[in-house]
Structure 1
Amino acid sequence: MNIFLFLFIVKIQLSFSLDPYAQQQLDRVSKLPGQNFNVSFEHYAGYVTVNEESGRALFYWLLEADEDPSSKPLVLWLNGGPGCSAIGYGLAEEIGPFHVQKDGKTLYLNPYSWNKVANILFVDTPVGVGFSYSNTTNDLLNNGDKSTAADNLEFFVQWFKRFPNYKGRDFYITGESYAGHYIPQLSQAIVRHNLKKKDEEVINLKGFMVGNALIDDFYDQLGRFQYLWSVGMISDQTFEQLNILCDSGSFLHTSEQCDEVLDISLEEMGDIDIYSIFTPPCTAKFNRFNQLLKRKKKIGLIKRSYDPCTLQHSVIYFNLPEVQNALHVHSKNSSSKWDTCSDMVNKNWKDSATSVLNIYRELIPLGLRIWILSGDADAVVPVTSTRYSIDALELQTISPWHAWHDDGQVGGWTQEYQGLNFVVVRGAGHEVPLHKPKQALTLIKSFLSGTSMPKLEKVSDS
C-alpha cells in the first residue's frame, strides 16, 4: 500500500476516534424499511462495547424527541425477563414511535410515543438479549443481576462519550417487569459512581419509574397468589397449597413442589393471557378472527383494535436483513435469529436478588424522583404484590389514596408517600403502555414534570 494512502487512512480513523459526533453520524438511522411516512426527529442505533477483553457489546436505539430535543430530558427504557428485548417490547409495541403492522414488514406511527415528551433510549441488556452480543460464549451463560448492573453502568460511561451533547441532561430510568431489579440496581450504581467522579463525569440521574416490577420475592409471590384467588382464577385448595409450598426461595428458581402446584394453577386459569387477564390471548383462533377484521378495515368498518399478537409481528420485522442493515446490526456477532426473549439468558441466570427493597431504602433519602406503577389486570406481578412491597418500606403518606383522571374518566388510583409515588392504571396489564397507551403518556408527562396525577376538574354550576 502507498505510504501516503496508508497515512491518510490512519488519519481518518484517528479523527473518527477523537470525534464522537463522527461516530454519532455512523449510528444515524436514515429511514427504516416499511416506513411509509416521514418523521421530524433523528434516531441512532448501534453498539457500545462494555468489555473490550471479552468483546461484550450492548445494542442501543436512541429516538430523539420529535420537537426541540435539546430542551428535553433523556429517558432510558429497559425490559426484563431476564432475557427480554427492550427493542421488541418497549420500543416496538409500547412507548416507541415505530410499531409493526400485522404483516411484519411495514410500520405505523404510534400517536402516544414517549418521544413526544423526551428523548428515549432503548438498550438490550444483558449480552445475549436482542442484538446485544459477546465474542466470548461463556458470557452468555453467566449473566446475573450484578454483572448486568456493572455492564449497564459501563454502557452509560461510554455512551455519554459518544453523545456528549447529552452530558448533564436530566436523566431518568424507566421500564417494567424484571427491570424492577435492573432499574434500582443501575440507579444505585450510578449514585455510587457519581460519588467517585469529577463533575464532568457525573451522570445527572434525577429519578426512576418501574412498572409491574419484581421487587421482593416473598411479597411478589404472596401478592400474586392472593390476586389469582381474589379474581376467581384459582381454587381455594390451590391457593392454600401455593401459600404453603411457594413461601420461600427465589422467584426465578422455585422448588419442585412449588412448580407442581404452579402448573395446577395454570390449568385452573385456562387459556388466558396472564399478563393481561381481560384481553384475548394470541391464539390460532384469534389470528383467524383477525383476518376478518383486516377485511373489514379495507372497507373502513372498524378502527385499529387491540392486537395480542404484536410480538409475532416484531419477530418477523427484526429478522429482515434490510431492517438489521438499517439499524447497523453486527450480524456476524449477534445471534443469527432475533427473538423477543432469550431462553439461554433466562435459564442460565446466575444471581437474582431476593429483594431490592434495601436499595429503595438507600436511594429514597437522596431525593430522587421514584415512581412505581401497576396495571391492575396483570396476574404475573399484580397490584397486590406491589402494594405489599411498598407497605414494607413504611413510608409516610403525603397524599392519601384517590382516583386520578384522564379525559374525565378514572384512569386509575394513586397514593403519594414521602419519597415515592404509587400509581395504578385501570384496565392495564403487565405492559401498561401497550394496553393503555394514552394513559401511559399522561403518566410519563406527570412523572417528568414532578406533578401529581391529574384529578377530575370540577365544572362550575354557573
Structure 2
Amino acid sequence: MKGALVLYLTLICLVASATQCYGEHGYYGYDPLAKFFKAPSLRKSVNHVNKELDSEYSPVYIGPQDGLKAADKITALPGEPKGVNFDQYSGYVTVDPKAGRALFYYFAESQNPSTKPLVLWLNGGPGCSSLGAGAMNELGPFRVTKGGKMLWKNPYAWNNVANIIFLESPAGVGFSYSNTSSDYITGDTKSAADAYTFLVNWLERFPEYKTRDFLMTGESYAGHYVPQLAQLILHNNKITNHTVINLKGVAIGNGYYDIEAQANGSYDYYWTHALISDEIHHGIVSNCNFSSADPPTEACQAYQSQANSAIGNIDNDNIYAPLCSSNTPPWINAYDPCSFNYSYTYLNTPAVQKSLHANTTGIPGPWETCNGYIGSNWDDEPDTVLPLIKELTSSGISVWLYSGDTDSVCSVTTTRYALNKLGLSVKTPWYAWYTQDEVGGYAVEYENLTFVTVRGAGHLVPSYQPARALTLFASFLDRKLPPSNHS
C-alpha cells in the first residue's frame, strides 16, 4: 500500500540527500497528516492478515553458521566507557544467498545472559534503523555524547533485564543490504518472512538461546512488524522441521495499527491537547469520513490544512519537547533533542563501522537513521492489523500495547480507538502505576491484553522516560502488571 504507509509514516523519514532522518522536529522530521488523508485513492492494501496462512510449511534458507558467532563478537566499541561487563555482537545474517540479501544486527547480552530471556527489538518507519534509534537513542546500553565520538552508559538500558537483539530490517535499512536492487521494493509480507529467516539462522549461530523464552517488542510501524512476525512464528512452530521459536510475548509502543483509528485519533488528540481550535476540530469531525475510501471533500481538505498549519513548529514525536538547535546545551542522563545527530556522526565513523563488522560497500551511501526510498516503495500494507492482534490474544502469549502520552504521531488516543475496536472485556480496571515514587502512567488489563501509558513520554518512550520505560519492560517480562504503589 502506498497511501497510509507512504504518506503518513514514511514521508516523515524522507530525506532529500544522504543525511540523517532526524531533523529539527524530531525522529521523523515533520507531520504529513494532511498529505496522508488527502490520498484515499492510494489506500490500496494487501489484507493478508485476514487470510489463513498456508497450511504447508515453506522451508526457509538456513546457512552454515560455524565460526560466525566468534567473528561477530565486538572487542570494544570506540569511545565506550570503562567497566563494560557484558558481551556485544554485531554482523550479518544472510536471508537470501541468491539475491545477496543480508540483515544487520547488534546484540547486547545481559550481565547474566544465561538467566535472562531473549528479546528482539524492531524500529518502524518503515525504513528506520533499530541500531540508530533503538540501540543508540532509546533502550540500548549506550548513548552517544555531543560530537559523536564518545559513549556514555545508559543506566536504564533494557539489557539490564534481558538479552536484546536490535535488527535493521528490511534490507536497505541501516547497514542491511541486498545485491538485488528490486529487493528495495518491499512490504509487510516480505519483511516478516525475512525477519523470520533471520531469527532461525541467528539461533543456529547462537544455539544456547534456542530454548530460551523469546519476546518481541518495538514501536511505531512495528505495530505491523511485530504482530505479523509473531503470527508467522506461531504458524511455523506448528509445522516446521527445524528450531521452534519459544515465543512468549509481544509489546508494542506507540504503534500504528488501524488506519481509521489513526485518522480519527490523531485529530482528536490535537484538539484535546490544545494544538488546534474548537472550530477546526468541529470542521474535521463534521466534514471528514476516515472510514471511507472515497476522496475527501474540499471542506475536509481545507480543515485538515488548517489543522496542520495551526500546530506550528513543534516536535510531533513529543509535543512538549524542545527542538534541536545550535543553542541546545548538552544533556547527560536526560532527553537531548539533538541526540540523533550524535548517533548519525558516530555510526558513520570508519572505526565504529569496523568494530561493528559493517559492510559499508553493501550500502549506496552513508549509514542513515531512516531510508526514505524503502518507505516510498513499500508495496503492501493492510489497513488494519487488529485481526492479527486479536488472534495473538487468543494464542496464549502475552500481548502488551503501551503509549507515551505526549506523542502526536501515533498517539495514545489512536491506540485507545484501536483497542475499542477489539471489544475486549476489562479484567483489571484503569489505575495509576508507579516508579521512583511517582506516577509512571496508567494501565488497564483486558482479557489477554494489557494497555499501559507512560506519563511524559513521546513517540520513543525510552528516550523521554527511561526509568519508567524500564519499569514497564521489566513488568512485561515478568508478566505482571506495572506496580500500583510507591514501593
* Alignment TM class, shorter chain as reference: 0.7 to 0.9
Asked whether the equivalents of residues 69 and 118 of structure 1 are also in contact (C-alpha less than 8 Å), the reply is yes
After the TM superposition, which residues 159-170 of structure 1 pair with which residues of structure 2 at under 5 Å, given as runs? 159-170=202-213
Distance 1:313 1:259 in 2: 38
How much does 1:108 deviate? 0.6
Which whole-Å deviations, capped at 9, do the CAs of 1:348-387 have from their partners, x for residues lacking one?
Answer: 1111110000101212111100100011101111111111
Query: Going by fraction, where is helix more abundant, 1 or 2?
Result: 1
- Aligned residue pair count: 423
Query: Given the alignment of the two structures, is residue 191 of structure 1 paired with residue 234 of structure 2, yes or no?
Result: yes
After the TM superposition, which residues 45-444 of structure 1 pair with which residues of structure 2 at under 5 Å, given as runs? 45-66=90-111, 68-140=112-184, 142-198=185-241, 201-243=243-285, 244-245=287-288, 247-248=290-291, 262-282=304-324, 284=325, 287-290=326-329, 304-444=333-473
Distance 1:18 1:232 in 2: 57
How much does 1:335 deviate? 3.1
How much does 1:331 deviate? 1.3
How much does 1:163 deviate? 1.0
Which whole-Å deviations, capped at 9, do the CAs of 1:276-335 have from their partners, x for residues lacking one?
Answer: 0111122x3xx3242xx68xxxxxxxx654211111111111011111111011111123
Asked whether the equivalents of residues 215 and 247 of structure 2 are also in contact (C-alpha less than 8 Å), the reply is yes
Question: Cα RMSD between the aligned structures?
Answer: 2.0
How much does 1:246 deviate? 6.3
Asked whether the equivalents of residues 364 and 419 of structure 1 are also in contact (C-alpha less than 8 Å), the reply is yes
- Tell me the TM-score normalised to structure 1 length: 0.88
Give the residue type in structure 2 aligned to 1:69: P
Q: Which runs of 5+ in 1 are unaligned?
A: 1-16, 295-302
Give the residue type in structure 2 aligned to 1:422: F
Indicate the SS of the match to 1:332. Answer: helix
Which whole-Å deviations, capped at 9, do the CAs of 1:382-406 have from their partners, x for residues lacking one?
Answer: 1111111112111111100110111
Indicate the SS of the match to 1:239. Answer: helix
Indicate the SS of the match to 1:351. Answer: coil
Query: In the alignment, which residue of structure 1 is the partner of 2:50?
Result: none
Structure 1 residues 338 and 417 mapped into 2: Cα distance closer, same or farther (>3 Å)? same
Asked whether the equivalents of residues 347 and 353 of structure 2 are also in contact (C-alpha less than 8 Å), the reply is yes
Give the residue type in structure 2 aligned to 1:120: I
Asked whether the equivalents of residues 288 and 297 of structure 2 are also in contact (C-alpha less than 8 Å), the reply is no
Of all paired residues, the percent bearing the same amino acid is: 44
- Rg larger in structure: 1
Distance 1:246 1:27 in 2: 51
Which whole-Å deviations, capped at 9, do the CAs of 1:54-103 have from their partners, x for residues lacking one?
Answer: 1111100111002x201110011000001100001100010000111011
Distance 1:259 1:339 in 2: 33
Distance 1:426 1:455 in 2: 14
Higher RCO (CA 8 Å, separation ≥ 6 residues) = 2
- Tell me the TM-score normalised to structure 2 length: 0.83
Distance 1:381 1:63 in 2: 28
Asked whether the equivalents of residues 131 and 335 of structure 1 are also in contact (C-alpha less than 8 Å), the reply is no
